[in-house]
Amino acid sequence: MLHSFSCVIPAEYSRVAFRLTASEASVLRPRLPILQGTAAMSPSPGISLLVYAAVAIIALIVLIARYRLNPFIVITLVSVGLALVAGMPASGVVASYEAGVGKTLGHIALVVALGTMLGKMMAESGGAEQVARTLIDRFGERNAHWAMVCISFLVGLPLFFEVGFVLLVPIAFTVARRVGVSILMVGLPMVAGLSVVHALVPPHPAAMLAVQAYQASVGQTLFYAILIGIPTAIIAGPVYAKFIVPRIHLPAENPLAKQFLDREPRAKLPSFGLTMATILLPVVLMLLGGWANLISTPGSAFNGFLLFIGNSVIALLLATLLSFWTLGIAQGFNRDSILKFTNECLAPTASITLLVGAGGGLNRILVDSGVTNQIVGLAQDFHLSPLLMGWLFAALMRVATGSATVAMTTASGIVAPVAMGLGYPHPELLVLATGAGSVIFSHVNDGGFWLIKEYFNMTVTQTFKTWTVLETLISIVAFALTLGLAQVL
């Protein structure tokens, strides 16, 4: 659950909240200003604010995609520039941006760190390999692509896409050689499962950002995400792979494949049950937290306990601690080895953490400058669905920044107060719509684009035909299914 945020900033911002509570959002219904002091901060006409915001988004796209500038620097510069041209006092711009960054990182930095450590323990112990072997044995070699989408769906739950990809790609190369098919036949279903989990399914850190922003129920969001995510992953993964792989001809030699295939496997692997219990522990705990008020008396000690262990940070912390034993000590690693693993894995998360924080800063600027208030007006005038708003804003930010996580952070920050003001009754569906938009049209400003290209030894054109189309399929199919679900709720 979200609470209003406060910090020591100039007086004209003293009543600004980064996320609006339900009571504060009620002022949106008669279309009064969202924030106290908005008029003073933004003397420009409302239409000008929307133009400034549109120019800011276009600037993000051009500077990052065309001129290949550092996304963190670009988001920061564009945020400050938007604040100044929108009429915010110069003395309050930095404080507003810092408040947005701090509020966002206060949650996501912990989730990223814990999820990455859990993923590292799975990689080093061989737990992920054990899961892969077991599922392939169950599915059979001819259905290896179906096995890979299931593996990625399960293993990817606590991991960011890049972490999950690096974790599973050695398994994909091994399976492809064992079955005798193109790496794309098993690799595309694998990345489809990872991407769907990244965008839609709690307790994945990216999905949890949107859950937090929309004040959605984790349990209900997880249930709806599975309903929508499974058919989406099937269509974008095994089904699309069967269509596109015969049309893509890869070089016979893949240098990256050799280093994985020549690697000595661990002699002792953790059991399938032990690995799955560790992976699914945070999912179970968050489900219990989401259902706390249904299975216990609200306000009771037991209810408070369920809410505590169901918190995403606590759930991942407990799972990570468990992994130190089940995937560490029990597999023959000593404390020094575990310390080395967990220290090494955190360094690569710095970039994505900074980008997410910058997205939170941009969120705050958009709210404080009054842009969100104008969007409320347009949504009321044109009867624009909050679901469509979430999808569109996330899609725009995805194209601009290349990061699905940043897209979800930014879009949910904009749409959440709008949805509250319009009284939208299904915040869980807003999470799914925003997540669907956040993965559309991956292109050259997305690190995942180059990761897929290099590991699968494709040209840029081939990567567009496979990875970019796959991501767009996920976005469109998931959003269509979300709209369908909205009709029956």
CA distance 125 to 333: 8
pLDDT of amino acid 239: 96
Whole-structure pTM value? 0.67
Contact 242, 248 (CB under 8 A): no
User: pLDDT 10s per residue in the chain (489 long)?
Assistant: 333 333 333 333 333 333 444 433 443 333 333 333 333 344 445 678 888 888 887 887 788 767 878 888 988 999 999 999 988 999 899 999 999 889 878 877 887 788 878 878 887 888 877 887 887 788 888 898 998 998 888 777 766 787 678 778 877 887 888 788 999 999 999 999 999 998 998 877 778 888 988 999 988 999 999 999 999 999 999 999 999 999 999 987 887 676 555 555 677 889 989 988 998 888 788 778 878 888 899 999 999 999 999 887 898 899 999 999 999 999 999 999 999 988 887 877 787 788 778 888 887 888 788 876 776 666 657 777 899 999 988 888 788 777 888 889 888 988 898 888 888 899 999 999 999 999 999 987 687 888 888 889 898 889 999 999 999 999 999 999 999 999 998
CA distance 373 to 381: 13
Q: Could you give the residue ranges of the DSSP H alpha helices within 423-467?
A: 427-437, 447-455, 460-463
The phi, psi pair for 6, rounded to 5°, reads -140, 150
Q: Could you give the residue ranges of the DSSP H alpha helices within 126-271?
A: 127-139, 144-155, 161-179, 183-200, 205-214, 218-234, 240-244, 255-261
End-to-end CA distance of the chain: 22
Contact 430, 457 (CB under 8 A): no
Contact 200, 434 (CB under 8 A): no
| Two structure tokens written together for 415 | 């749409």
CA distance 413 to 408: 8
CA distance 107 to 208: 10
Domain ranges of the chain: 36-488
Residues 6+ apart with CB under 8 A from 206: 160, 198, 199, 404, 405, 408, 435, 438
Residues 6+ apart with CB under 8 A from 279: 118, 122, 127, 131, 154, 155, 157, 158, 319
Residue 81 belongs to what H/E stretch?
helix 71-85
Would the CA dihedral through 197, 199, 203, 205 be positive or negative?
A: positive
Report the phi/psi class of residue 109: left, alpha or beta, with left for phi > 0 and alpha for psi in -120 to 50.
alpha
Residues 6+ apart with CB under 8 A from 35: 15, 16, 17, 367, 368, 370, 373
Contact 127, 327 (CB under 8 A): yes
